[in-house]
Chains A and B, each alone.
Chain A
Amino acid sequence: MKKSIKIPILARVEGEGALELEIKNNKIDKLNLKIYEPPRLFEKFLEGREYNDVIDIVARICGICPVAYQMSAAHAIEDCFELKTSPWIRAMRRVFYCGEWIESHCIHIHFLAAPDFLGFNTAPEMAKKFPEEVRRGIRLQTLGHELINLFGGRPVHPIGACVGGFYHAPKPEQVTNLINKLKNGLEDAENLLNWTASLALPDSSHDFIYVALQHSDEYPFNEGNITTSSGLSITAAEYKDHFQEKQVAYSTALHSSLDGKDYLVGPLARLNLNHQHLPEPIKKILAENKIKIPSQNMFHSIIARAVEVYYSLLEAISLLEDYQYPDAASMKVKPKAGVGYAATEAPRGLLWQHYAMDNKGLVKIADIIPPTSQNQFRMESDLKIALTKFGLDKEDDLLRNHCEQIIRNYDPCISCSTHFLDLRVKRS
């Protein structure tokens, strides 16, 4: 018997994509995650542009993670120019990134993922039954928004970052005011983590490789080696020696693999590889809720996001409490011909960029590999395993809902990977 299920448009994900599933004799015969969003060609737009134009242009790739695109680009170009930044810039870039993680994760937890686990079709439906939880999410999200605004000059497509640092440093009184707000958010962050850890999450544990930056003494944002659960530890410059991209006929986003295998990037991968750097209050909550890290249960991603919200608040407070108004918010930039590489941790995972620049500081080549295209192959593999475990003989609507839940769990940004679900199931 052959059966075909098609999800023509995926709901509650960013962008446009579809899933085509063919089941033959109760086995998956074909499973294609089709990303049909048109290519966006940002890398070609960047060619010939001046180095600081890059920072403003890449912020436009994504509405929710512009900081990540700016940070990877800035670090890659600074790598090319052999430019070292000051401790102040390094610390404030971490704070800037904290804002993006808090905002992005809070939106995903409360408006996209939690309705799945609590049995609601939409976030507004969930908000009727869980108003305090949603209000808490909004309060936390606002803190992320304010952190981005502090350094970015505006919350949407921020414009404060540049190669070498920031255009302006916030005034100390602005920082003091925000520290107080961040401290008031700590109880919310703690409650959020306890709440996500107490949700009845499905168990989809299975073996897979996960990849994230790993740093010797901190939870990573901008620095560290690209590290895999399979034992590889490399610099950003060595990325293409091990990670491959290939075009598949059914998707406009390239498929990434690690020596031919699928792999996970994102909050769960980061948590698995860096949990040793978490502050004690977070470790304690995970232990009290019997959440074992590393975890191979993809549905623990919502907990990983809540961990990172709490961590980002603590980290931002800690760094801002030492805030001193700097002599210079940026380093003097001297363009240098060459190549540069960087990988930083976007909310959705590893974001790798490579630039070749000329001696005037103009881009000759740009190469950007976002997290969602790296997770695409992993999502297909996860769907095959999870759907088989769920039961391929289930009704099409149940299969469709389960597929969407699995995909949403990755918080895919299809716009960034080029957009998302339209499920088509064909049974025979």
Chain B
Amino acid sequence: MKPTLILGVGSPYGEDQIGMLVAASLLKDSRIKSFIPKQLEIFSCDRPGLNLLSYLQDKQYERLIIIDAIQSNNTPGTIQLINKAELASFQETISSHGVDLGSAINMAETLQLLPKDFLLLGIEMSPMAQDDYFLDTSSEKISIVNKVVDYIITIIKNNNKLVEN
């Protein structure tokens, strides 16, 4: 079994990019490069819906970390650990055209595909401005990405599951 799977979830637009930007930045980070891919796998997931489960179906990970943008009236860049109970309270939307992240994670748990060690990091982002719609790398966004990357690296390094080569 591989120790950790990290999924940066979002879309290529505006503030919703944050999960994917964090995944891209982690992939390039020299502090964890030697662990990839044998002990650590990292993917950017563009609006995955139920395809999120495709990463889990072989049950090969001990830990799953998901990063996604949230809006909860906190300061932009605030990192919130969302637990399964909180996630279950989210309204589920399942239609032929879209399955929200909460529903996909709940389905993964129902199907016993969700690793026991599971972290969902909600990254507070400000409401999307119209001129911010396309790919942008504002200094504020870069500093949020760096903060989240440091946070995740601290978690996975303190976890003792990664062994230095």
* Chain A interface residues toward B at CB < 8 A: 12-14, 62-64, 104, 107-108, 111-112, 122-124, 127-128, 131, 134-135, 138-139, 141-142, 145, 154-156, 411, 413, 415
Contacts and interface: CB of A to CB of B under 8 A. Distances in A.
Contact of B96 (A64, A127, A128, A134): A64
B54 A104 contact: no
A145 B97 contact: no
14 contacts: A12-B94, A64-B97, A108-B96, A123-B94, A124-B92, A124-B94, A124-B103, A127-B110, A134-B107, A135-B57, A138-B57, A141-B50, A142-B51, A156-B46
Contact of A127 (B47, B97, B98, B111): B111
A127 B51 CA distance: 16
A134 B106 CA distance: 13
B14 to A, nearest CB: 15
Contacts of A156: 11, 46-47
Nearest to B55: A142
B95 interface: yes
Contacts of A64: 96-97
A63 B107 contact: no
A111 B111 CA distance: 13
Contacts of A122: 92, 94
Interface of B: 11, 46-47, 50-51, 53-54, 57, 92, 94-99, 103, 106-107, 110-113
Contacts of A142: 51, 53-54, 57
Contacts of B97: 14, 62-64, 413, 415
The 7 closest A-B pairs by CB, nearest first: A142-B54, A63-B97, A14-B97, A127-B110, A14-B95, A64-B97, A138-B53
A108 B54 CA distance: 17
Given A104-B96, A123-B94, A138-B57, A111 B110 contact: no
A348 to B, nearest CB: 9
B105 to A, nearest CB: 11
Contacts of B95: 12-14, 112
A300 B96 CA distance: 19
B111 A13 contact: no
Contacts of A138: 50, 53-54, 57, 111
A123 to B, nearest CB: 6
A131 B111 CA distance: 5
B54 A14 contact: no
Nearest to B58: A139
Contacts of B51: 141-142, 145, 155
A138 B113 CA distance: 12
Contacts of B99: 111
A154 B112 contact: no
B152 to A, nearest CB: 25
Given A128-B110, A155-B46, A411 B54 contact: no
Nearest to A138: B53
Given A14-B95, A62-B97, A138-B57, 15 more contacts: A12-B94, A13-B96, A14-B96, A14-B97, A63-B97, A127-B111, A134-B111, A135-B113, A138-B50, A138-B111, A141-B50, A142-B51, A142-B57, A155-B46, A413-B97
Contacts of B107: 123-124, 127, 134
A205 to B, nearest CB: 25
A64 B50 CA distance: 12
A139 B51 CA distance: 9
A299 to B, nearest CB: 18
Contacts of B47: 156
Contacts of A141: 50-51, 54
A11 to B, nearest CB: 9
A154 B113 contact: no
B96 A411 contact: yes
A131 B53 CA distance: 13
A123 B107 CA distance: 9
A141 B96 CA distance: 12
Contacts of A123: 94, 107
Contact of A112 (B53, B96, B98, B111): B96
A34 to B, nearest CB: 18
A111 B46 CA distance: 21
A111 B110 CA distance: 14
A13 B98 CA distance: 10
A111 B112 contact: no
A204 to B, nearest CB: 21
A156 B50 CA distance: 13
B84 to A, nearest CB: 14
Nearest to B12: A154
A100 B46 CA distance: 17
A413 B110 contact: no
Nearest to A104: B96
A135 B106 CA distance: 13
A177 to B, nearest CB: 15
Nearest to B106: A124
Contact of B54 (A127, A128, A145): A145
A122 B107 CA distance: 11
A104 to B, nearest CB: 7
Contacts of A131: 110-112
Contacts of A128: 110
B94 A111 contact: yes
B50 A107 contact: yes
A89 B113 CA distance: 38
B153 to A, nearest CB: 28
